[in-house]
Amino acid sequence: MPEPSPFSDQPSAGLLAKAAPGDNAQGPDGPLSITEISALLKRTVEDRFGFVRVRGELSGVKRAASGHVYMSLKDEGARLDGVMWRGNAQRLGFMPEDGVEVIATGKLTTYPGRSNYQIVIDRMEIAGEGALLALLAKTKARLEAEGLFDAACKRPLPFLPQVIGVVTSPTGAVIRDILHRLADRFPSRVLVWPVLVQGSGAAEQVAAAVRGFSVLAPGGAVPRPDLVIVARGGGSIEDLWAFNEEVVVRAIAASTIPVISAVGHETDTTLADFAADLRAPTPTAAAEIAVPVREELAAQLAELAYRKRRCALRPVQLGRERLEARAQRLPRPEALLSPKVQQLDDLAERLRRGLSDRIVVAREVLQRQAGRLSAPLLAAQVRAAKQRLAAQRLRPDDLLRRIERDRARVEALDRVRLQLDPKAPLKRGYALVTGPDGHVVHGRAAAARLAAMTLEFHDGTLQVGPVGARPARSTAKPGGGKQGDLF
């Protein structure tokens, strides 16, 4: 039998709706409208669940163009829709993704448009360190698949950067440690871009600083760094979470300047470390990696300069050693000069004796001739010479004969000269053939090798060339005869 209706005591239903006595399922003016019942439900739910804290896994996360975030939270047995308005979404410390287990805090409300209820989330955190590590591993795997962590993309660091950019908090101990370490090792120019390194908005500020250094133009008012250090002190995984954000990782990977990641202590690892060109275990170590030690460089330069001097002086030293070795093999100067010295002494002695002997002989000759050099004898010889000179007479016939004899000899030489003159035969119809260099052409074979020749006649010259050349140019004297081309 059918179960009795709870309203079985009321009259059976008819065609027209009629209000039953004592019916409380209606308003003062009759049955409730859909809007009225939805408002009653919304008020009841909000009054009863004005503040709730739920735990669940994110699903269907969507970020609208308005900035609001829509999602669902689910567990093994149920599903709850959720919404996070833009203001609260901007303060999130992580990027919500599907599969992340979170704890959401907010209030329950209804959405009359779809007749369902949802949670309006004011604050959302990752549910425990395990969930946080799971999100980290998921993000790392996704970014690694895109190639952001490839070793082939890593760039070498400059050996001695002139300007170093540091992205960190300006008030922490990190920047003081970096500046102090740089001053100890190699004082350099440092540009600090102050950012938040923890909490809401930290990831966006760090990413903006890295991109800001990259867009600086070389030679501008603000110098462009040669190296960028992204640094933060140690802390928990939540404190360091800003450096695991995708926006920071992508900014570091896209940087046009080599980047050193120095986030946390040696045991702390963030995704920024994988995207950077080099990871430093601590911020102080990053300063040590960035620049060399100036004293060590100076010592190395001094050592290289010393080695250069040794290399330059080595050939001189070797040459000196070879010269000394060869000089030791040479005979002593005394041994070389002693025979000549002895010979010189012998010749000096012979010269002395020869001069002495010569003086004795000369003295004897002078003594023998002394008798002939007496004054009376010399006067007698002078008188005899004068007598012979007075006896000589100059007769004209002797001079004329001498002149005629000399004239005949000169005329004979002149006739020979005229016969030997090469231009004398030119008056008898002969020609003198010379080449371009002015030398006489002696035969036909020599003439055949010449491109041009000069024919000299008694009344002028004529230039001739081979057959087919331009006509010969005559330099005959005025009134002279015409000479044709010999070729």
Kindly state whether residue 37 falls inside one of the protein's structural domains.
no
Whether residue 54 contacts residue 73, with contact meaning beta carbons closer than 8 Å, is answered with yes
Q: How many domains does the structure of the chain reveal? A: 4
Please give the pLDDT value at position 258: 94
CA distance 369 to 265: 130
pLDDT in tens, the chain (487 residues): 445 554 445 555 556 656 555 555 555 566 777 887 878 887 887 777 778 888 888 888 888 888 899 988 888 888 888 889 888 888 887 778 877 788 888 888 887 777 788 888 988 877 766 667 777 788 888 888 888 888 888 899 999 899 999 999 998 889 999 999 998 888 889 999 999 988 878 889 999 999 999 999 888 889 999 999 999 988 877 788 889 888 999 999 999 999 999 998 888 888 899 999 999 999 999 999 999 888 888 888 889 998 998 888 888 888 888 988 888 888 777 777 888 888 888 899 889 888 888 898 888 888 877 766 677 777 888 888 888 878 776 677 777 888 888 889 989 888 888 777 777 777 777 888 888 888 888 888 888 888 888 888 878 888 887 665 454 454 444 444 444 444 4
pLDDT of residue 487: 43
Question: Would 244 be classed as within a structural domain?
Answer: yes
Same-domain status, 206 and 259: yes
CATH code: domain of residue 98:
2.40.50.140
Same domain, residue pair 53 and 107: yes
Print burial letters for 177-187: b (CB count within 10 Å at least 16), e (below 16). bbbebbeebbe
Instruction: Looking at the structure, tell me whether residues 176 and 259 fall in a common domain.
Output: yes
What is the pLDDT, as a whole number, of residue 482?
47
Same domain, 170 and 284: yes
**CA quadruple 20, 24, 25, 28: dihedral sign:** positive
**Which of 292, 267, 294, 293 minimizes the C-alpha distance to 281?**
267
What pLDDT is recorded for position 249? 92
Question: Could you tell me the strand order of the sheet in which 432-434 lies?
Answer: 432-434, 453-457, 460-464, 474-476
Alpha helices for 236-394 (secondary structure H): 246-253, 271-275, 283-290, 294-329, 333-369, 375-391
109 & 86 share domain: yes
Shared domain for 63 and 101, answered yes or no, is yes
Question: Is residue 279 assigned to a domain?
Answer: yes
Residue 444 lies in a domain: yes
Q: Do 175 and 283 belong to one domain?
A: yes
Return the exposure string of 242-261: e unless at least 16 CB atoms fall within 10 Å of the residue's CB, then b. Answer: bbbbbbbbbbbbebebbbbb
Same domain, 253 and 310: no
Residue 138: half-sphere exposure toward Cβ, Cα within 13 Å: 13
Does 285 share its domain with 303?
no
Residues of the domain holding 433? 424-476
Distances (CA, A) of 228 to 196, 283, 411: 17, 12, 115
For residue 362, being part of any structural domain is answered with no
- Of 274, 303, 327, the one marking the end of a domain is 327
Residue 110 lies in a domain: yes
pTM of the model: 0.47
Whether 226 is covered by a domain: the verdict is yes
Say yes or no: 199 and 257 in one domain: yes
Q: Is the distance from CB of 7 to CB of 25 less than 8 angstroms?
A: no
Asked, for residue 387, whether it belongs to a domain, the answer is no
- The residue from 291, 312, 341 where one domain ends is 291
The domain that holds 177 is classified in CATH as 3.40.50.10550
Q: Kindly state whether residues 55 and 86 are assigned to the same domain.
A: yes
**259 and 286 housed in the same domain:** yes
Q: How far is CA 164 from CA 207, 361, 480, in A?
A: 17, 108, 102
Q: What values do phi and psi take at 221, rounded to 5?
A: -65, -40
